[in-house]
Amino acid sequence: MTNKTKNIFNSSDKKTITNFLDNMRKKRKRIVFTNGVFDILHYGHINYLTKAREMGDILIVGLNRDSSVRKFKSKDRPLQNEMDRARILTALKAVDYVILFSEETPAKLIEMVKPDILVKGADYKISEIVGAEFVKSYGGEVKRIKFVKGRSSTDIIKKLNS
């Protein structure tokens, strides 16, 4: 088992991230980006991340820091801390890198990464996806992936609380 902790970055590590991405582009790697909380990892997440990874050569996941999760989920979330969530994600075959970010949206991170493909769940319209217009402005693609019905963190939490 390899130690993929080195594949976890902070969004403030701009120079490191930019250098890494420049190197990947020189190697003609297609960079796929998605983001989320990924608090209670479940089959729906695995399916989503696997499909996202199949769209390119490298999958980068923007992961909300604990402070930003509390702002838009609840004071009781996340259930797992950011480093545990990041380590779990990088342990997955589909995920190559995780970048932790504090902002409420990944807009600045998407501008820094400048992915070839931006991916979100099909519950979003393209017009609602943060960063979609930016990605399309330089010829990048924006794609949506259908969720696996009945497989969500919210569903799991409701089940546990009942």
Which pLDDT score is estimated for 128? 95
Going from the N-terminus, what domains does the chain have, and what CATH number goes with each?
Answer: 4-161 (3.40.50.620)
Q: How many C-beta atoms lie closer than 10 Å to residue 75's C-beta?
A: 7
Which pLDDT score is estimated for 107? 98
User: How far from 3 is each of 26, 46, 103, CA to CA, in Å?
Assistant: 25, 20, 27
Which pLDDT score is estimated for 153? 63
Predicted structure pTM score: 0.91
Which pLDDT score is estimated for 154? 63
CB 76 within 8 A of CB 104: no
Side chain identity, residue 21: L
pLDDT tens for the chain, 162 residues long, are 344 567 999 999 999 999 999 999 999 999 999 999 998 888 989 999 999 999 999 999 999 999 988 887 778 778 899 999 999 999 999 999 999 999 989 999 999 999 999 999 998 899 999 999 999 999 999 999 987 766 666 666 677 777
Query: Residue 160 and residue 162: Cα distance in Å, rounded?
Result: 6
CB 126 within 8 A of CB 132: yes
Q: Which residues pair with 34 in a beta bridge?
A: 61
Which pLDDT score is estimated for 71? 83
**Opening angle at CA 29, ends 24 and 30, nearest 5:** 120
Which pLDDT score is estimated for 72? 77
Q: What three-state secondary structure class fits 159? A: helix
Query: Residue 27 and residue 74: Cα distance in Å, rounded?
Result: 41
DSSP codes, 53-86: HTTSSEEEEEEE-HHHHHHHS-TT--SS-HHHHH
